[in-house]
Amino acid sequence: MSKLKFDVPGVTLSALPSGLEILSVTNKFASAKISTNGAHIISYVPAGEKDLLWVSKKSHMTPGKPIRGGVPVCWPWFGSSDKQGWPGHGFARLETWEIAEAATLDSGATRVVLKLDSSMREFPMSGFPFTLHMIFTVGSTLEMTLVMVNKGEKPVTVGCALHTYFAVSDARKIAVSGLDGIGYFDYRVKTTKFDGNVQKGDLKIAEEVDYVYFPAPGATEIVDPGWGRIVKIEKSGSESTVVWNPWIEKSKVMPDYGDEEYPEMVCVECANAKCDQRVLQPGIPNILTQKLSLR
């Protein structure tokens, strides 16, 4: 169990029977749960609201396995690896991160910082020395900042994403706005080109959706009439936005995803994916942020 070196009001560390460590955060604005496995937030509940995040009832909740929901931190690649047997979406979400800091801010929000550093142990899939910090600010909004530093001598190219699973009343009745007129890769066919796909108006979900929008530097919103709410997703350090819902057939082939769960969620991901990968120059931090709020 990580040693929680700080006595911070509203922050407690516990472990599931599987050994999965969970940091629980409660303050006047919201409550949250963050697993040290992957620096993976699995719940963010603003006071008086429903959880903004969704987790499959069939998700693994075991150290070293990906959690199906919340906000997986995909790093240092997005999507499948070109290396045989390497995990999809990088290794960072499978590793136990260290709790570097927990503090109450003057605003009353809570900051939690988790760290993954190549000096901690061997990371055979990384190929270069690195430091990652995942900074959560849990308040009336949820801010997430991924700071990545290449500690090597040569530039390296990485892909990454804050792969957020949003809870919705019914994915068949929501709209995702903010992508109008933007081209997208249709990842369902694993295309490597735009193929002329351009978003017209708000995105609605009536089939499997797995689109990588680029260039998409702006904010998006999930308009959810069923729950009478709009979730705003603001970001920086990202020019690609990924939207995913597995729909019926894909839901059936994922062991950690219920066959009937696809109406409950939509992924809207702030990413450096595909042609938006980033070159990490030695020693220079690269930062990806997202801010989630209810409008």
- By CB under 6 A, name the binding residues for ligand TA6: 66, 79, 88-89, 163, 187, 210, 242, 244, 267, 269
Closest CB to ligand TA6 among residues 79, 263: 79
Question: Which C-beta is closer to ligand TA6: that of 50 or that of 188?
Answer: 188
Q: Catalytic: which of 221, 239, 261, 269? A: 269
Which residues touch 92 (CB under 8 Å, ≥6 apart)?
38, 39, 73, 74, 75, 76, 116, 132
User: In the complex with ligand TA6, which residue's Cβ is closer, 79 or 237?
Assistant: 79
Helix (H, G, I), strand (E, B) or coil at 121: coil
Of 89, 163, 261, 264, the catalytic one is: 163
Distances (CA, A) of 258 to 56, 58, 123, 190, 247: 7, 6, 32, 24, 11
Minimum CB separation of residue 105 from ligand TA6 in Å reads: 31
C-alpha to C-alpha distance for 186 and 204, rounded to whole angstroms: 15
Nearest distance from C-beta of residue 256 to ligand TA6, angstroms = 8
Q: Using the 8-state DSSP alphabet, how is residue 252 labeled?
A: H
Cβ 185 to ligand TA6, closest distance in Å? 11
Q: Which residues of 249-268 are buried (b: 16+ CB within 10 A; e: fewer)?
A: eebeeeeebeeebbbbbbbb
| 239 given a catalytic annotation | no
* Residue in the shown chain whose Cβ atom is closest to ligand TA6: 88
- In the bound state with ligand TA6, the residue whose beta carbon lies nearer, of 117 and 186, is 186
89 is catalytic: no
Q: Minimal distance in Å, beta carbon 188 to ligand TA6?
A: 8
The residue type found at 4 is L
Residues labelled as active-site residues: 163, 269
